[in-house]
A and B are shown apart, each in its own frame.
Chain A
Amino acid sequence: MWINMGPQHPMTHGLWNLRIKVDGETIVDAEPEMGYLHRGIEKLCENRTYTQIIPISDRLCYGSSLTWSHLYCLTVEDLMGLEVPERAEYIRVAAIEMQRIASHLMWLAAYAADLGTLVGFIYTMRDREVFIDLLQALSGSRLTYNFPRIGGVAHDVPPNFERDSLRACTYMEKKLDEYELLFEGSKVFMMRNEGVGLLKKELAMNLGVTGPPLRASGVKYDLRKDQPYSVYPEMDFQAISMPDGDCYARYKVRMDEMRESCKIIRQAVQKMPKGKWRVVAPRNGPVGTGIGRVEDPRGEGMMYVVGNGTPKPYRLKIRSPIFVTVSAAKQMLVGYKVADVVAIMGGLDMCIGEADR
């Protein structure tokens, strides 16, 4: 029996469709279908100037919009050969890590609600507000920030930003311990996660899975470490990986990443040098190409821009981590139960905005 899990289904977190073929409760086949949320962003960008694309790239992912506008700015800076002031880089890194924590918390909230613990949903969304508030103080908005600029960031940090960030990190580390009590302390949660949705190391690498699902399969591949951008080389943090490759490993990787992000935010706001936070970028992009790769909360995000000497890019290509990761759905799902669909697909942290573009 084929069952449509989507496009209107509580499991999907977005607009996509997962068709599963079940034998009783056991999944024998699965087929993810994308395309319900296609907005033609890549084409849209060809009719916008370089600056106008920043808010559009924000709309790529509702969960972590800042990483995508940052990625876009990185790519165009690569195209234009701009040198970003060091203060701007530190502000960016702090903001991205806040966004990473907010994104992971949103994932945790959705994951908890998927598995049935509504209390986990409420608590994580509550604590996400702390970082959303910080980002709001920084950029002025709560979801799509439009904060990075080509050649820096839009504003300097607000007053008391360092104090508030440090407080938020301390608060978050305390709350992470609480979450571990709430989730890992629960036998039912462990029963639902351990050994579910196994993704072998080789398979994960062959399918192009990136980000936390790849690191949970035992591959220590983090672009912040392996191909450092911005000021990540000056930060002291660990790339997290777990050997198991199951849902619990994916959960654990993200939880530990939040701790590492707290560390990075601390260092970034404390080490932040004085100086300019923005350089003026030329209006016209040169003839040539630019490429940028960042470690999105969901995996490796990549942008490729072709300039033709006009204020508008000739072509902008976006590589979405989730679009690639979801292709591993069948390999992960087959053999498990219908109830595991939510654990496995929820553990991937689906974000359809960037996958469909």
Chain B
Amino acid sequence: MTCASGRPIGETMNLFQFCYGLIHWLVILVNHLWYWLGNVLPGALGDFFTGIGDLAASHGNIAVFAILLEVIIFVIIAFINVLNFIWLDRKFMGRMFDFYGPYYVGYRIGGWLQNIADGMKLFVKEIITPAKADKAGFLLAPVIFVGSSFLALSTIPLGSNFGVETSAHDTGVPGGALIAFAFFAIAPFSILVAGWSSNNKYTLIGGMRSAAQMMSYEIPLLLTVASVFLLAGSFSFNGIIDAQKDIWFAIPLFLGFIVFLVCLMAEVEVQPFDLPEAEAELVEGWTTEYSGMRFGLFMMTSYLRGYIGGALATALFLGGWHGPTLIPEPIWFLIKAYTVFVVIEWTRWSLPRIRVDQILNLGWKRLMPLAVVNLLIAATFKTLGWF
């Protein structure tokens, strides 16, 4: 016996099935109205309303809305995580720097509401578009930046049954890891657009630096990810994480994990690699001309990218949601992602900024050979049949 979404009753449901059930219930509730109208109205008009009811109750329609609901749930989770991350970053930074961090706004919960207060401040600030800026590009850049980051996020599952799935029998998005990295790598493009369209010399240099930086870190990053794909034999996050049930990939691929973390810091543009917005020499880099909530979106998304980075490192190297079963799977996943984020922030606040020619050297002369060696190690393990 199965329920409406095709799930055998009694088995654990995944997020898609949950959303499907919810939407299905809503549709049936509303369909009472359509079918009643179809009954009472005569002729073609009645058939029309019956048709609407049939269309609404069709599998495809409910599935589309279920997927939308899933995405909304993931966006809400992401927003809460971003608020947590900003708070955690400020608190951690404060402790490192000998002060308390946010304290007064919501002091019973450790100053957590400070982020919301800052967000409100950014909301009421004026959004200024420079007179000689390229309006379309100036507007489009934050959209691409935020949108691509959220898209990358939506492919990362938080638990074996808690991800954006497209059918009842799916386990995660097929090829989800590939999609996540593809969307994750769009950001430098939007930075370039933002830097160019702002019509400002600092932003221009920042945008160009971002493009140059991407050249250096993207290839080693993807090579280490390829080694994970090789060991797991799967492109989807669920497959990769299931392959780490016995041993985390961070242990056999320790070298790759280090390379991945370094590249990740370059990808999310934190301190040693935050060349595009080097505030000492480029004022605020590519975000110089953005004000108000547009800047707030950039700021928020940079933390969101920190979260995505932590989640990717967790999923690919740290065994995802696997851990002692006492704690629910999504909590395990988030604990690991937060830990990776804190490590990134720790490095971020204690290292100086690297120079643009040095990051190219680092990427091509150090990280690239290491990534290739790591791929070789992974291939050796695979050939020996250990994985």
Contact = CB atoms under 8 A, between A and B. Distances in A.
Contact of A337 (B202, B352, B356): B356
Nearest to B282: A338
A11 interface: yes
A123 B97 CA distance: 7
Contact of B278 (A1, A3, A116, A189): A116
A10 B354 CA distance: 18
B355 interface: yes
A188 B97 contact: no
B272 A188 contact: yes
B353 A339 contact: yes
A342 B280 contact: yes
Contact of B281 (A1, A122, A339): A339
B283 interface: yes
Given A25-B205, A122-B98, A182-B350, A337 B355 contact: yes
A22 B201 CA distance: 11
A119 B96 contact: yes
A205 interface: no
A339 B99 CA distance: 29
Interface string A89-113: 0000000000000000000000011
A5 interface: yes
Given A123-B98, A126-B98, A188-B272, A112 B352 contact: yes
Interface residues of B, number: 29
B170 interface: no
Interface string B350-371: 1111111110000000000000
Contacts of B93: 118
Nearest to A4: B201
Nearest to A22: B205
- Identify which of A10, A119, A123, A342 gathers the most chain B CB atoms within 10 Å of its CB: A119
B202 to A, nearest CB: 8
Interface in A149-185: 182
A135 B281 CA distance: 33
A43 interface: no
Interface string A318-342: 0000000000000000000111111
Contacts of B96: 119
B355 A116 contact: no
A201 interface: no
A191 B272 CA distance: 12
B276 to A, nearest CB: 12
B387 to A, nearest CB: 34
B280 A116 contact: yes
A99 to B, nearest CB: 23
A239 B376 CA distance: 55
B301 interface: no
B350 A117 contact: yes
Nearest to B96: A119
Contacts of A10: 279-281, 283
A9 B200 CA distance: 14
Nearest to B201: A3
A208 B214 CA distance: 43
A129 to B, nearest CB: 11
A119 B281 contact: no
B271 A116 contact: yes
A188 to B, nearest CB: 5
24 contacts: A10-B281, A10-B283, A11-B280, A11-B281, A22-B205, A25-B356, A113-B280, A115-B352, A115-B353, A116-B274, A116-B278, A117-B350, A122-B97, A123-B98, A182-B350, A188-B351, A188-B352, A188-B353, A192-B352, A192-B354, A338-B205, A339-B278, A339-B355, A340-B355
Interface of A: 1, 3, 5, 9-11, 22, 25, 112-119, 122-123, 126, 182, 186, 188-189, 191-192, 337-342
